[in-house]
Amino acid sequence: MNAYLFSYGTLQTEKVHLELFGRILQGRRDVLKGYRAVPIEITESAFLAKGEQNYQLTAVLSNDKNDAITGTVFEISEEDLLLADEYEPINYNRSKVILASGKEAWVYKK
């Protein structure tokens, strides 16, 4: 069974697609309403060893209904989702959200 994954950061890049999944993913622009993207410092050496920046964005639930994060939603396999779990920093959690398109998708956030 396939799943939807919403990305607003490094998982949108072709470089990460090739390194992580072995192919470039095809996605569509979508919006996560009621959240805002805020920078946090990543100190996990395994993540930083991949060449990623030590400041990354994370989705934070907002009290302002006008806040929104624009990103890309990808349809991926369950196996791909597990690979994404391994890629993300350990202080990020995967949770389900409903996107503006109506799709139920996984998103990584703190």
Residue 43's CATH number = 3.10.490.10
Burial bucket for residue 11 (CB in 10 Å: 0-12, 13-18, 19+): buried
DSSP-assigned letter for residue 93 = E
What is the reported pLDDT for 49? 59
Altogether, the residues listed in the chain come to a count of: 110
The residues, any chain, with a CB within 8 Å of residue 78's CB and separated by 6 or more, are 1, 2, 3
pTM: 0.87
Domain limits for position 91? 2-109
- Mean pLDDT score, 58-83: 95
Q: CA nearest 73: which of 32, 18, 23, 22? A: 32
* Residue with the larger pLDDT of the pair 101 and 88: 101
The domain total for the chain is 1
